[in-house]
Amino acid sequence: MGKKTNLTGLSRFLPQDFINPNATSLSEKPQNQSGSTKKRKTDTHVPVRTKYDATALVPHYTTTHEVPENLQKYFSQRKRYFSLYDQGCLLDEEGWYSVTPENIAVQIADRCRCDTILDSFCGVGGNAIAFAKTCEHVIALDISPTRLALARHNAAIYGVADRIEFILADYISFANAYLSRPHSTRNIDVVFLSPPWGGPGYISPSENHASADNNVDFQDELEAHSQYSLSRIQPIHGADLFRLTKRISDNIAYFLPRNTDLNEISALGLLEKDEGVTPDDKPQMIEVEEEWMGSKLKALTCYFGGLVAGQEHVF
């Protein structure tokens, strides 16, 4: 697996113990594993039409006055979410507040280079599109047929839809089915976890998020005095989600809120210890990368296994 040493994020390292992987493989063949991808080039703002056109599912906003009030602050960031937004990229309401900004998705994809990567909560496809440019094959899951159709629509605009296998499924069921399959020829090398954080008010620990969601200064002040717990991850506790995923691959990229409790992240390394580990074995590490957009910290990406810088030999 190719690795690059020039990391653009600010990283912290935490000690961790690992278990050995207990993964099986998919037996299905990807639709296309040939050659490199081609990035769509265009200088027109007319939306691109493809065979995966999903324009009937959600509106493509072009001006602020078309956008519902609760989405206007996200619409102003549309080119950060998708640089080709004007070519017809589509987002549903959840997609507007949950999609990974494109530059961050590209940074994560560069770290996750491999043959086969599983994007377990693909949403409208921001990360899956970036992965399709650095990995041979992307498996993209989502429980919403609308979001899955939007993801494929957006991937077609970027010219990478043929490198992504879109599957309508919830991750928990998929993971359990994958682990129950007999051993076959193709493994999942890396799993990207970007589960729901609890909606746009995830910063606030209270049930009423209205003031925090609508007041940026208040949100930042609140965040400074609160920490995000993995217990708020959906659909199951974030630690249980990690435990399940680690049975598929040790190589995990976990995308989490910027105020996640680092003690909880460190504790993930103590889950499901391998009984074969001896005291002489060197502890492995967790790398916590801060994802910045300009002067704003947006999220954390926690890398495990062979994705950790300097620990590629365990991939």
Look at residue 38 in the predicted model and tell me its pLDDT. 37
Look at residue 202 in the predicted model and tell me its pLDDT. 58
Q: Among 262, 302, 291, which residue's Cα sits nearest to residue 9? A: 291
Listed in sequence order, the residues at least 6 apart from 202 whose beta carbon sits closer than 8 Å to its beta carbon are 209, 228, 232, 257
Look at residue 13 in the predicted model and tell me its pLDDT. 41
Each residue of 50-64: pLDDT tens digit?
678 999 999 999 999
Residues in the chain, total? 315
**Exposure string over 272-309, b if 16+ CB within 10 A, otherwise e:** eeeeeeeeeeeebbbbbbebbeeeeebbbbbbbbbbbb
Q: Could you say which residues of the chain have pLDDT below 70?
A: 1-50, 184-185, 200-225, 271-282
Distance (Å) of CA 39 to CA 35, 158, 206: 13, 6, 43
The angle formed by the CA atoms of residues 248, 251 and 257, to the nearest 5 degrees, is 105
Q: Mean pLDDT over all residues of the chain?
A: 81
Listed in sequence order, the residues at least 6 apart from 205 whose beta carbon sits closer than 8 Å to its beta carbon are 226
What single-letter amino acid sits at 32? N
pTM (2 decimals)?
A: 0.79
Look at residue 249 in the predicted model and tell me its pLDDT. 95
C-alpha to C-alpha distance for 160 and 154, rounded to whole angstroms: 9
Look at residue 184 in the predicted model and tell me its pLDDT. 63
CB of 96 within 8 A of CB of 59?
Answer: no
Look at residue 213 in the predicted model and tell me its pLDDT. 44
